[in-house]
Structure 1
Amino acid sequence: MEPEDDLRSRIEAALVRGRLTKWQRHFLLDMRDRLVKYGPRTRLSAKQWARLHEIIGPTSPSPSAPSHSPLNRAPSSSRWRPRRSRSPLAREARYLAARFTRAFGIALALVVGSLIYSHIEKGGHISWPSMPSFARSATGDRVPLARSQFTVTDGDTIRLDGAAKGTRLVGFNAPESIEPRCPVEADLGRRAKARLTELVASAKLELEMIPCSCTAGTEGTDRCNYGRSCGSLFANGQDVGDVLISEGLAVPFVCGATSCPPTPRPWCAS
């Protein structure tokens, strides 16, 4: 088994066993998604290795030396060579380039800071920089979405290509396919995910990003919807949530402006 496959299997085993906090579960899901998407090209920081060590036990190689791990393999170092002396002209050019880079970085930081400050002053949210450019639409606008621009996580969640977090589809709740609470939910969760995948396979797709139902100032952070964005996905003009509800693969789930009622999960009721 390849190293990344072994690590992914251990992560999935930890998810199945349960006994995780919400943060730990979200972290493991994010790590698993990276391994699925990037395979042996996945890069994990020392801090991420340390978190994995805390949750699933020691990994091989040691998290304390991530640069030597199969997922962070560095090219073999060449033999030592004497450092070449640079001419005065080359040193001067290097110095001027460094000065220019520093000045440009400061100017760019000032511009970005000004934009963010202006955005906050107008009462807006600042979670959009983590979203792909095709999803940075104004609230209420539908934008075309290609099938290649996202992956289906489960029956009510997708992940946009390039986004740090997933996008929770609103208005409905589908059974869990990753951490089901009973066999019935596990079966329905797999069917809901498969049905959503089928709905978006060849349809004309549109995505409408909307504010999540969170307290002011928390959107885009882990305190709001686990850091995920929120939106509605339309296949040939129809909300995919309405289709799943009509087929018994989801239930309505409507939130208020800043909070949601308890998540409906009727599948494991005795």
Structure 2
Amino acid sequence: MIRSLLIVLALSLPATAGIYVIDGDTIVVGREHIRIVGIDAPETRQARCDAELRLGLEAKARVLFLLQRACGPLAKADAGRCLTIQRQPAPDRYGRTLARIGVGGRDLGATLVAEGLARPYICPRGRCPARKPWCEVPAP
């Protein structure tokens, strides 16, 4: 009886309860993992070099700042009130929702690209190009 009640309560919780930032291009809203479509941010968990890790942590911190400014404390945030989420019709190959995220009337991905914390990443007809490495040293 108690187990059934807990399951019903868990299923009735709003899907937008809380926001968690995984990295510069992935967030979790409630239980939904969302990959920000149209950008590629440096990795933090599987960074290939120190430069990628540093920039990845900077991108994550920027996303945290922008979301906290718009939503308040993220653990209790109601994403439906502070974000606009434009979901794509199909998930990515990892099962994440692909979406554009609007924060304070601005596209979050475009903001990160403009600030040099992400690159545009367009997948025409669902065919994504190889990601460019973040560890390349530009020629002098």
Tell me the residue number matched to 2:23: 154
Which of the pair is proportionally richer in helix? 1
Give the counterpart of 1:239 among 107, 113, 118: 107
Tell me the residue number matched to 2:6: none
Q: Distance in 2 between matches of 1:228 and 1:133?
A: 18
Alignment of 1:183 onto 2:50: yes
Structure exhibiting the larger radius of gyration computed from Cα positions: 1
TM-superposition CA deviations, 1:208-263 (whole Å, max 9, x none): 11134xxxxxx5xxxx4212111111111111111111111111101112221112
Q: Distance in 1 between matches of 2:56 and 2:26?
A: 12
Written as runs of structure 1 = structure 2, the 5 A alignment for 1:91-130 is none
Q: CA deviation at 1:193?
A: 0.2
Tell me the residue number matched to 2:38: 171
Q: CA deviation at 1:133?
A: 6.4
Alignment of 1:197 onto 2:64: yes
TM-score by length of 1: 0.39
Tell me the residue number matched to 1:248: 116
The answer to which structure, 1 or 2, has the higher relative contact order (CA under 8 A, 6+ apart) is 2
Tell me the residue number matched to 2:7: none
TM-score by length of 2: 0.73
Q: Distance in 2 between matches of 1:171 and 1:251?
A: 8
Q: CA RMSD in A?
A: 1.9
Give the counterpart of 1:210 among 83, 88, 113: 88
Which of the pair is proportionally richer in strand? 2
Q: CA deviation at 1:170?
A: 0.6
Tell me the residue number matched to 1:115: none
Checking the alignment, whether the CA contact within 8 Å between 2:14 and 2:30 is kept in structure 1 is: no
User: Structure 1 runs of 4+ off > 3 angstroms?
Assistant: none
Q: Distance in 2 between matches of 1:259 and 1:160?
A: 26
Aligned-residue identity in percent: 37
TM-superposition CA deviations, 1:165-201 (whole Å, max 9, x none): x211011110001110000001000000000000111
Checking the alignment, whether the CA contact within 8 Å between 1:191 and 1:249 is kept in structure 2 is: yes
Q: CA deviation at 1:268?
A: 0.4
5+ long unaligned stretches in structure 2: 1-12, 71-81
Q: Distance in 2 between matches of 1:169 and 1:133?
A: 21
Q: Distance in 1 between matches of 2:132 and 2:27?
A: 20
Q: Call closer, same or farther: CA 1:238–1:252 in 2, change over 3 Å.
A: same
